[in-house]
Amino acid sequence: MPLPIEVHRAPALKPKPAASDVLGFGKYFADHMFRMDYTSEQGWHHARILPHAPLGLDPGAAVLHYAQSVFDGSKVFRGSDGKLRAFRLQDHCARLAASAERLCMAAVPPELAREAIEALVRHEADWVPHAPGTSLYVRPVVIASEAFLGVRPADKYIFFAILSPVGGYFSNGAEPVRIWVEQELTRAAPGGLGGAKAAANYAASLQASVAAKKRGYAQVLWLDALEHRYIEEVGTMNLFVRIGDEVITPPLDGTFLPGITRESVLTLLRDWRVRVSERKLSIDELREAHQKGELHEVFGTGTAAVISPVGGLGFRDGELLIGEGRVGELSRRLYNAVTGIQYGTLADSHGWMTVIG
């Protein structure tokens, strides 16, 4: 049964960014958002589309004290045929529910979240930007809204989704980024929250990322929390490394997010009969491969940047230049394949796209 959704229109609409404006990432917001509330008695109720505005949270709300907050992020594309298509929306909604469960929060049933997001995007269709390489970023969030200072799972939650027209995630476009290999700080440990898209994970990452930027690096390469030896992820993205003819990505061990772009890239590589391994990769193996001239490509994958090539890895004793600092052949091929499917110029043979209209 379709979700009954009240619509409260904004009294005036904001001007959309001009075609000449650089959209960047997350700077502009659409006129309307979606909101739905949860109480343990009523479950999820009162679905509405309303103007994008402050939420009106009690200062005692549990999210502000104990960080019960999870989110996800997906994109809607304006295809070359004018149709709007969401990329793997159902998978993003399933992941949002899994993240909420990890933090003992009320999960939004994925089908309900998907319906809500599709209704909001239909309502805000004019906010899906037209320029090549742009999209509408969808940010669904669940937070604990119960005003209570005891430490236990809250019994009231808010689910909201906001929309932001975006361009590239990095200000340097798709040029390779230089990454600092972080050997002291840890983002997530085994048994912790790393596998959930919890707001707290992003707070945990900031100190290392600020320090890396001071050193002139764009982001951080995270190593495992126990030995600081095994590669886990890069910035907010999953990591892939091409050594010889093998493409390696760390196995999902619960310390980092099961990326939807990661899974899509693995699927495409297997379609193309590329040798792929989900296995542990130590920083020593990576350095050795570099010495032998076998480290051909390193790249991150994520919703925001899609594929982000890494051109250099910084260590305390110097920097490894990767692929002469240029975009690798496989990174480019994957970027073209994923974005081609997203914009509807390539066949969607895995059924990843949903037309919204």
3-state secondary structure of 12: coil
- Closest contact distance (angstroms) between CB of 300 and ligand COI is 8
310 binds ligand COI (CB under 6 A): no
* Residue 189, Ramachandran bin (φ over 0: left; ψ between -120 and 50: alpha; else beta): beta
Instruction: Choose between 106 and 239: whose C-beta lies nearer to ligand COI.
Output: 239
- Closest contact distance (angstroms) between CB of 86 and ligand COI is 14
Instruction: Choose between 68 and 238: whose C-beta lies nearer to ligand COI.
Output: 238
234 binds ligand COI (CB under 6 A): no
201 binds ligand COI (CB under 6 A): no
| Beta strands 156-166 and 318-321, pairing class | unpaired
Nearest Cα neighbor of 290 from 312, 271, 264 is 312
167 binds ligand COI (CB under 6 A): no
Asked whether 336 and 348 are in contact (CB, 8 A), the reply is: no
Residues 68-97 that bind ligand COI (CB under 6 A): 73
- Closest contact distance (angstroms) between CB of 117 and ligand COI is 15
Cβ density class 328-354: b for 16+ within 10 Å, e for less: bebbbebbebbbebbbbeeeeeeebbb
236 binds ligand COI (CB under 6 A): yes
Instruction: Choose between 203 and 346: whose C-beta lies nearer to ligand COI.
Output: 203
Beta strands in 127-202 (DSSP E): 135-144, 156-166, 177-182
Looking at the DSSP bridge assignments, the partners of residue 74 are: 138
User: Of these, 237, 248, 266, 334, which contacts ligand COI (CB under 6 A)?
Assistant: 237
195 binds ligand COI (CB under 6 A): no
Nearest Cα neighbor of 137 from 96, 182, 183, 86 is 86
User: Of these, 167, 168, 302, 323, which contacts ligand COI (CB under 6 A)?
Assistant: 302
Q: How many residues bind ligand COI (CB under 6 A)?
A: 7
* Chain Cα centroid distance, residue 255: 15
303 binds ligand COI (CB under 6 A): yes
Instruction: Please identify, among the stretches 82-90, 125-133, 301-309, 321-329, the one whose residues bind ligand COI according to the rule CB under 6 A.
Output: 301-309
How far is it, in rounded angstroms, from Cα 299 to Cα 251?
16
User: Of these, 198, 304, 307, 313, which contacts ligand COI (CB under 6 A)?
Assistant: 304
Contact footprint for ligand COI (CB under 6 A)? 73, 236-237, 302-305
